[in-house]
Amino acid sequence: MFCSKGGNKSGRSRRRLTAKAVLQKSAVADGNIINSKKRKHFSWLGLLGIKTSLENTMKKGRITMKRIRKMMALVIAVVMMVAMANVAMAATITITHDESYEDAGGTARVYNAYKIFDASYTTLSGENTQDDKDGFTYTPDDAPVSYSLATDSPWVSVFMSGDTQVAATAAWVDVKMAADGSKYIVTPKSTYTTAEQAAAFAAYLEERVPSTATATEVTVDGGAATVDGNGYYLIVAKDTKDAVTKLALVTTDVTIVEKNTYITTGKTTSETSYNVGDTVTYTATVDIPSDTALTETEGTGYKAGHGPIILHDTMDSALTFDGTTSITATMDSAAFTAFTSAADELDDDCTFEITIPVTSAVLGKTITFTYTAKVNSTAATDTGFVNELFGENNGYKTTPDDVHVYTFDFDFSKEFTDGDSSLTATFEVRTDADDASTAIAFLEKEDGKQEKAGSGETGDTTITITNGETIDLVGLKAGTYYLVETSTSTGYNLLDEAITVTITDTTEDPENPSHTVTYSGAGISGTGTIPVVNNHGSVLPSTGGIGTTIFYVIGAILVLGAGILLVTRRRMNAN
């Protein structure tokens, strides 16, 4: 609504005009907007409600040229605003990938966007993000919009058979010729409101794309693609059939998050820390959606969009894979053998790969694989080692599953009171304090480290340490150990009991493993480096040693002998 103010100073009443009122007053029966008698009173100035005021003011000589220029500038600005409001804004489609998978390095998926209907909107503003929809389905009554189908559109053949609408399409829309014959008016059914119905409509249209229909290519993560104006679009994967076809209602800008179904993978181990030489058992799973494209060959390779599922496994250098013969697979609790594996001459950095052809038998199933590797002697203390798995299917891969496992360590120092560097003691690290057969063998390394001997390696269960030395024992898993002193230098006391050592895995961030060491026994307790001290003197041997027993035996013999002698003398005296 626009207001016109009179030019006199007497405060005459203000007149209000609307565009609708002006058009109604000037309309004539034959359909002309303005008749000749009223033409001089209807112009852009008249529509804006300022022409009468301007004429009156100029007649009375009450306006200057400066004021005229200002008013004309205002008129031009308003006219430009009205004109710009009627210019159609360019429409774009942007498709981004779902974060649950990553680009495997191949060609990004490309979609074809076909304009099915033209769309006219009551309002055109803002950005239309449709990622909260099921996939990127957008049903027609989600926006104030009217639809039409151009008479020369190749899609007319899909909806019309002569002058009659194709019966199958009536499940979603009504299509009728406009009264003036310029286009078809398309009206969505009142029952067409769900994502499932839109998916069915999209599938129907995909099977009937006219050969002459043109499309705009939209590359996933490739930025905005300008399409042929506002409309209702069919979006179809260009080269593959495993992508779910959708419909999108496009306003000025539409951002679509691709939410097609893809394989998913997972990987676990039963423990997180291991000794050097231990065997690690990995369990990997792959979930195969029921709509995954079946594997098909074409020529010497696979048909585009119909390749197999490939699992890629990469092991850290601290792990030695036990070979493809260690791989077993199950599906529905039964052995699954329809796969191949390779560990040699791979083109990438993978340790091995598993290839699974997609057949109808695996659709909607979960396949579980187990395989083993050994922790070798190169395992670095407290840095962990990683086994990575990802699945690939038709150019896309799952987000890698990184499984971290670790080895830990503890260290101890030796001190002889009033001793020199020539003094030594020997120790064993056992898993049972009273069982010498449980002693762990170690290999001497550089920088005061001794590493647990790995599979096939010969180490020494006896650890020799000198006065003032600290030894770091590495390659151990979290758990409880016993540090037992087996000998010490002459004149020094041997520890009277084993020291209990507990390694606890305190890792919170897999990328930054951590652990704590606590100890107790032989008169000491604490955390961190274990301080073992040998003191001067002699200590009576523990139970089971000879100790004072010999003296008790001799004493008992002497007492017994004295008793016998006393009895003998009494008898002799009695005689």
- Between 85 and 311, whose confidence is greater? 311
Closest CA to 153 of 95, 205, 219: 205
Please give the average per-residue pLDDT across 359-382, as a whole number.
Answer: 88
Please give the average per-residue pLDDT across 33-38, as a whole number.
Answer: 26
Tell whether 316 is covered by a domain: yes
| pLDDT, averaged across the chain | 77
pLDDT band at 43 (very low <50, low <70, confident <90, very high): very low
Q: How buried is 303 (Cβ within 10 angstroms: 0-12 exposed, 13-18 middle, 19+ buried)?
A: middle
Q: Is the pLDDT of residue 392 over 70?
A: yes
C-alpha 460/C-alpha 477 separation (Å) is 19
Do 414 and 495 contact (CB within 8 A), yes or no? no
Q: Is the pLDDT of residue 182 over 50?
A: yes
Tell me, what's the pLDDT at 84?
36
Q: What percent of the residues of the chain are helix, what percent strand, and what percent coil, each to the nearest 5?
A: 20, 40, 45
Do 109 and 240 contact (CB within 8 A), yes or no? yes
Answer yes or no: do 290 and 379 share one domain.
yes
Answer yes or no: do 129 and 228 share one domain.
yes
> What DSSP assignment string belongs to 403-451?
EEEB-EEEEEEEEETT--TT-EEEEEEESSTT-GGGBPPEEE-STTEEE
Percent of the chain with pLDDT over 70: 70
C-alpha 226/C-alpha 91 separation (Å) is 6
C-alpha 528/C-alpha 477 separation (Å) is 16
Q: Is 568 helix (H, G, I), strand (E, B) or coil?
A: helix
Tell whether 9 is covered by a domain: yes
Tell whether 542 is covered by a domain: no
Listed residues 54, 85, 116: the one ending a domain: 85
Contacts of 23 (CB under 8 A, 6+ apart): 33
> What DSSP assignment string belongs to 374-391?
EE-TTPPTTT-EEEEEEE
Amino acid found at 454: G
What tens digit of pLDDT does each residue of 421-443 get?
A: 889 999 999 999 999 999 999 99
Answer yes or no: do 299 and 214 share one domain.
no
Q: Is the pLDDT of residue 495 over 60?
A: yes
Closest CA to 428 of 520, 498, 523, 521: 498
Closest CA to 236 of 165, 305, 160, 150: 305
pLDDT-wise least confident of 160-164, 165-169, 487-491, 539-543: 539-543
CATH of residue 389: 2.60.40.740
Q: Is the pLDDT of residue 2 over 70?
A: no
Tell me, what's the pLDDT at 177?
96
Q: Is 76 helix (H, G, I), strand (E, B) or coil?
A: helix
Tell me, what's the pLDDT at 25?
27
Please give the average per-residue pLDDT across 522-528, as a whole number.
Answer: 96
pLDDT band at 35 (very low <50, low <70, confident <90, very high): very low
C-alpha 37/C-alpha 28 separation (Å) is 11
pLDDT-wise least confident of 58-72, 215-229, 323-337, 374-388: 58-72
- Between 30 and 363, whose confidence is greater? 363
Listed residues 367, 386, 405: the one ending a domain: 405
Answer yes or no: do 215 and 323 share one domain.
no
- Between 572 and 81, whose confidence is greater? 572
E strand residue ranges, 27-161: 92-96, 101-103, 110-121, 128-129, 145-150, 160-161
Please give the average per-residue pLDDT across 7-20, as a whole number.
Answer: 33
Helix (H) or strand (E) holding 141: none
Closest CA to 177 of 186, 168, 169: 186
Number of structural domains found in the chain: 5
Please give the average per-residue pLDDT across 116-124, as a whole number.
Answer: 70
Q: Is the pLDDT of residue 239 over 80?
A: no
Closest CA to 331 of 355, 364, 292: 364
Tell whether 520 is covered by a domain: yes
- Between 306 and 405, whose confidence is greater? 405
Do 197 and 62 contact (CB within 8 A), yes or no? no
Answer yes or no: do 142 and 190 share one domain.
yes
Tell me, what's the pLDDT at 220?
81
Tell whether 110 is covered by a domain: yes
Answer yes or no: do 69 and 139 share one domain.
no
Helix (H) or strand (E) holding 79: helix 65-85
Q: Is 39 helix (H, G, I), strand (E, B) or coil?
A: helix
Sign of CA dihedral 204, 210, 214, 218: positive
Tokens 């001799």 sit on residue: 554
Answer yes or no: do 119 and 250 share one domain.
yes
Answer yes or no: do 229 and 279 share one domain.
no
Q: Is the pLDDT of residue 376 over 80?
A: yes
Domain range for 204: 92-257
Half-sphere exposure of 321 (CA within 13 A, CB side): 22
Q: Is the pLDDT of residue 229 over 50?
A: yes
Answer yes or no: do 401 and 332 share one domain.
yes
C-alpha 280/C-alpha 549 separation (Å) is 52
Closest CA to 478 of 326, 272, 292, 315: 272
The rounded radius of gyration (Å) of the Cα atoms in the chain is 45
C-alpha 198/C-alpha 139 separation (Å) is 6
Tell whether 421 is covered by a domain: yes
pLDDT band at 247 (very low <50, low <70, confident <90, very high): low
C-alpha 154/C-alpha 350 separation (Å) is 49
Sign of CA dihedral 542, 545, 549, 551: negative
Q: Is the pLDDT of residue 510 over 70?
A: yes
pLDDT-wise least confident of 104-108, 274-278, 449-453, 546-550: 104-108
Do 244 and 81 contact (CB within 8 A), yes or no? no
Contacts of 169 (CB under 8 A, 6+ apart): 158, 159, 175, 204
Tell me, what's the pLDDT at 124?
37
C-alpha 442/C-alpha 410 separation (Å) is 13
- Residue 228 is classified by DSSP as S
Tell me, what's the pLDDT at 145?
75
What tens digit of pLDDT does each residue of 126-147 get?
A: 444 443 333 333 344 444 678 8
Torsion angle of the four alpha carbons 548, 554, 557, 561, in this order, in degrees rounded to the nearest 10: -140
Answer yes or no: do 21 and 102 share one domain.
no
Please give the average per-residue pLDDT across 566-575, as a whole number.
Answer: 70
Answer yes or no: do 239 and 202 share one domain.
yes
Tell whether 541 is covered by a domain: no
- Residue 336 is classified by DSSP as -
Q: Is the pLDDT of residue 123 over 70?
A: no
Hey, what are 40's tokens?
Answer: 């001089």
Tell whether 556 is covered by a domain: yes
Closest CA to 521 of 530, 512, 529, 513: 530
Answer yes or no: do 421 and 512 share one domain.
yes
CA distance to 97, 271, 321, 454, 478, per residue, from 277 (Å): 42, 15, 12, 4, 14
Q: Is the pLDDT of residue 80 over 60?
A: no
Listed residues 239, 257, 275: the one ending a domain: 257
Percent of the chain with pLDDT over 90: 44
pLDDT band at 14 (very low <50, low <70, confident <90, very high): very low
Strand duo 424-430 + 479-488: pairing? antiparallel
Q: Is the pLDDT of residue 11 over 70?
A: no
pLDDT band at 548 (very low <50, low <70, confident <90, very high): low
Q: Is the pLDDT of residue 413 over 90?
A: yes
Tell me, what's the pLDDT at 485?
97
